[in-house]
Amino acid sequence: MDTDERQLTPRGEERRRQLIEFAARRFAENGYHPTSVAEIVEGLGVGKGVFYWYFDSKDELFRAILSEGQRDLRRHQRDAIAGDLTPLERVRNGVRASIEWSLEQPVLVRLFQFAATDERFAGLLRQGERIAVRDAAHQIQEAMEAGEIPCADATLLAQAMLGVHTRIVHLMATGQIEATDEIISTAVDFCVNGIRGAADRSFI
């Protein structure tokens, strides 16, 4: 029987959460491959069978962690650009919210970064990225149509912003730069200026 079709009681749901949270932390600290299933179940003080009651494999557990993390990030991004804002304000808020969420979720950020380097998980990661990028590109496109910024390849600019976001968050999470509001603002400004000053390369 597939573990993801199993009917879980509240007790079961809690155990599943424990496994996901403990494993995510160990994966982030030690790496995915070097962290064994034995280590995870010992850390929770349970038998090995518990693990395979809730997950078909170690890979599937990691995919579950990824999916839930992406869903949470996505929710925060959505909330950040809600309300009555100009397109450019939406872009600014979206970038800032993503950075702030990432600073609160260093474990997931680290796992996202690893997932990008492993073929087993890269596809799943890309799915989530594509949605976020498409949305950001949509806001940029609207800013262009509103005349706030010159026309250019909106998707590419969104990807560039994601690059800035990823780098800044990585530096803050590893303690290489401080996570002050001023530095976040400078990073956000870099992004906004990057798209605002973009030369017209579109064919519109």
Partner DNA sequence: CATTCACTTGACCGATCGGTCAACAATGGG
Partner DNA sequence: CCCATTGTTGACCGATCGGTCAAGTGAATG
Interacting residues toward a copy of itself by CB under 8 A: 30-34, 110, 113-114, 116-119, 122, 126, 152-153, 156-157, 159-160, 162-168, 170-171, 174, 176-177, 182-183, 185-187, 189-199, 201
| 3 binds, options DNA, a copy of itself, none, Cβ within 5 to 8 A by partner type | none
| 67 binds, options DNA, a copy of itself, none, Cβ within 5 to 8 A by partner type | none
> Contact at 8 Å (CB) between 81 and 94?
yes
d(CA 157, CA 96): 16
Cβ closest to a copy of itself, residue 50 vs residue 151: 151
d(CA 169, CA 86): 26
| 119 binds, options DNA, a copy of itself, none, Cβ within 5 to 8 A by partner type | a copy of itself
Cβ closest to DNA, residue 13 vs residue 79: 13
Nearest residue to 58 via CA among 43, 36, 31:
36
102 by Cβ neighbours in 10 Å (0-12 / 13-18 / 19+) ranks as: buried
Cβ closest to DNA, residue 67 vs residue 155: 67
- Contacts with DNA by CB under 7 A lie at 6-9, 11-13, 15, 33, 35-39, 45-50, 52-53, 56-59
Residue 81 is given by DSSP the state T
Cβ closest to DNA, residue 45 vs residue 147: 45
Cα dihedral angle (100, 191, 159, 127), rounded to 10 degrees?
20
